[in-house]
């Protein structure tokens, strides 16, 4: 089914040995060049909110605040005419910078100029309570009818003026309301904290070590958001009564475990959020199912995977299981399944290794980061390999033998952590 502008392809080894129960598949979803379901661009199709940290630390160095203002202005310039937009400032509270009454403005040359003037007056002073910032964004979005709702959040510090529980509670309310791309500027913020936000809100997280890089990054994020045409697409996974769904993970362009995000439709079927899509995008999902073993020569449907937006089915793929006594068939591991299993392990190894290093457990850190070096090398993930080389000295790349560097720049360590989930695709 491709008339919706989407295609769904399933890659797997269908053959199981006698008594075999685990079925694994990589599902590739691709949007065509002319994909559009939501009314794009004009009218109430899209809404954008830029959330800027104005805490006191944004003044150290002072370029942080001035570059944040410039970056916000650069993002405002990219907002298309007719799109709703607002700017929020955050300290230990949050307030609407533009429009000042907490509504949404409709983008036009005049409203963009007024917004940039308001942003130019922002100064740094106060604390950090990210949940409050997101809460205000949620309220502003709620008052504006748009299908595609997206925010950009910038911070330079840790979430010190509210509890982790308060942030998690607010994220629960924001989930499904809007998506959010997070950026940390400098090195005094917490990667795991911003990753919690970006994961819950189906966005990206990255470090901008030098404030001078903010404007280009903000403009690029807004360009990307302006390209989205389809809101709230879900991956619907149906399994037969004799099967259990083990996991659903996005594995490209980044690893994101969606298993816990299931919206139950029936005991056999559930929806997993994939967020918004633009034309010409492609993402891979790894789906694991456990089936009841059947006799040799028997075949069963292990899962039916549909792409849905609202009530419309945009595409479909089938995951099968066939039992055989032919070892050549049943022992062959599908190349794409193997590749993405390795990429997910790579992300875990990096995060666990960096955490061990932080805790002073050099033995675990060396083992985990060494494993990461070997996995990055095997899978051809050159970007991650380069980031690893700034944290460890590689002795033997094949074996994953490494030595921890004595001195590591904070920015290098944080870049490795934030980008640990980025994957490389395997050719079909």
Tell whether 29 and 54 lie within a shared domain: no
Count of domains forming the chain: 3
Q: Tell me whether residue 39 is exposed, middle or buried, using C-beta atoms within 10 angstroms of its C-beta: 0 to 12, 13 to 18, 19 or more.
A: middle
Is the pTM value of this prediction over 0.75? yes
Query: H-type helices in 95-185, by residue range?
Result: 109-120, 130-142, 164-174
Residue 427 forms part of a structural domain: no
DSSP string, 330-380: HTPPPHHHHHHHHHHHHHHHHHHHHHHHHTT-HHHHHHHHHHHHHHHHHHT
Domain match, 74 and 160 both:
yes
Task: Summarize pLDDT for 253-304 with one digit per residue, the tens.
Answer: 999 999 999 999 999 999 999 999 999 999 999 999 999 999 999 999 999 9
Based on the domain organization, do 235 and 296 belong to the same domain?
Answer: yes
Supply the range of the domain harboring residue 96.
43-226
Considering the domain boundaries, does residue 279 fall inside one?
yes
Q: Is the same domain home to 168 and 294?
A: no
Residue 426 lies in a domain: no
Of 175, 195, 226, which residue sits at a domain end?
Answer: 226
Lookup: tokens for 74: 């650069």
End-of-domain residue from the set 203, 226, 249: 226
Domain identity same for 192 and 281: no
The reply to whether 392 and 360 lie within a common domain is yes
Average pLDDT, the chain: 94
Q: Which DSSP letter does residue 107 get?
A: P
In angstroms, rounded to a whole number, what is the distance separating the alpha carbons of residues 403 and 174?
A: 42
**What's 155's domain CATH number?**
3.40.50.410
Is residue 423 included in any domain, yes or no?
no
Together in a domain, 62 and 29: no
CATH number for the domain harbouring residue 402: 1.20.120.1690
Pairing of the two strands 148-155 and 179-185: parallel
> Domain check: are 392 and 379 in the same one?
yes
Q: Give the pLDDT confidence of 318-352 residue by residue, as tens digits.
A: 999 999 999 999 999 999 999 999 999 999 999 99
424 within domain boundaries: no
**Nearest 5°: phi and psi at 151?**
-125, 155
Residues 277 and 381 in one domain: no
Residues 139 and 178 both lie in one domain? yes
Question: Residue 407: CB partners within 8 Å, gap ≥ 6?
Answer: none
- Over residues 229-244, the pLDDT tens digits come to 888 899 999 999 999 9
From the list 234, 246, 303, the residue with the least C-alpha distance to 272 is 234
Q: Please, which residues bridge with residue 401 across strands?
A: 396
425 within domain boundaries: no
> Which of 47, 12, 49, 11 shows the shortest CA–CA distance to 282?
11
Asked if residues 154 and 53 have their Cβ atoms less than 8 Å apart, the reply is yes
- Whether pLDDT at 43 is above 70: no
Does the structure show a pLDDT above 90 at 134?
yes
Residues 294 and 373 in one domain: no
Span 111-127, average pLDDT = 97
The reply to whether 147 falls in a domain is yes
Given the structure tokens 């748009």, which residue do they identify? 146
For residue 234, give the CATH number of its domain: 2.60.40.3670
**What confidence score (pLDDT) does residue 35 get?**
79
| 147/19 same-domain check | no
Q: Which of 206, 226, 246 is the last residue of a domain?
A: 226
């Amino acid at each position: 089914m491709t008339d919706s502008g989407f295609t769904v392809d399933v890659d797997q080894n269908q053959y199981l040995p006698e008594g075999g129960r685990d079925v694994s598949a990589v599902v590739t979803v691709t949007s065509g060049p002319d994909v559009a379901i939501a009314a794009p661009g004009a009218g109430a199709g899209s809404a954008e909110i830029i959330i800027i940290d104005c805490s006191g630390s944004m003044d150290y160095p002072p370029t942080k605040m001035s570059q944040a203002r410039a970056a916000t202005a650069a993002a405002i310039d990219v907002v298309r005419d007719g799109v709703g937009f607002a700017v929020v400032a955050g300290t230990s509270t949050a307030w609407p910078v533009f429009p000042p009454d907490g509504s949404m403005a409709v983008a036009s040359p005049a409203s963009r100029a007024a917004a940039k003037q308001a942003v130019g007056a922002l100064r740094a002073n106060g604390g950090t309570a990210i949940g409050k910032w997101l809460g205000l964004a949620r309220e502003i979005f709620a008052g504006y009818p748009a299908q595609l709702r997206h925010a950009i959040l910038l911070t330079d510090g840790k979430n010190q003026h509210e509890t982790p529980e308060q942030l998690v509670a607010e994220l629960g309310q924001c989930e499904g309301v809007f998506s959010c791309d997070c950026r940390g500027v400098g090195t005094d913020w917490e990667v795991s904290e911003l990753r919690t936000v970006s994961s819950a809100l189906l966005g990206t997280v990255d470090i901008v070590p030098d404030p001078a890089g903010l404007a280009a990054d903000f403009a690029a994020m807004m360009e990307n958001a302006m390209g989205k045409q389809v809101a709230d697409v879900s991956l619907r996974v149906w399994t037969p009564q004799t099967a259990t769904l083990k996991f659903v993970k996005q594995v490209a362009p980044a690893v994101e475990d969606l298993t816990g995000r299931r919206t139950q439709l029936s005991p056999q079927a559930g929806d997993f959020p994939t967020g918004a899509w633009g034309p010409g995008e492609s993402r891979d999902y790894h789906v694991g199912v456990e089936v009841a073993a059947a006799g040799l020569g028997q075949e069963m449907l292990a899962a039916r995977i549909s792409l849905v937006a609202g009530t419309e089915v945009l595409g479909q793929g089938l995951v099968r299981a066939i039992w055989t006594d032919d070892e050549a068939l049943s022992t062959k591991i599908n190349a794409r399944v193997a590749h993405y299993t390795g990429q997910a392990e790579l992300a875990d190894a990096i995060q666990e290794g960096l955490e061990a290093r932080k805790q002073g457990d050099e033995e675990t850190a060396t083992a985990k980061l060494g494993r990461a070096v070997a996995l990055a090398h095997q899978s051809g993930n050159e970007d991650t390999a380069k980031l690893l080389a700034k944290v460890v000295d590689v002795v033997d790349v094949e074996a994953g033998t490494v030595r921890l560097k004595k001195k590591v720049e904070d920015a290098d360590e944080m870049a490795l952590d934030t980008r640990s989930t980025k994957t490389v695709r395997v050719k079909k």
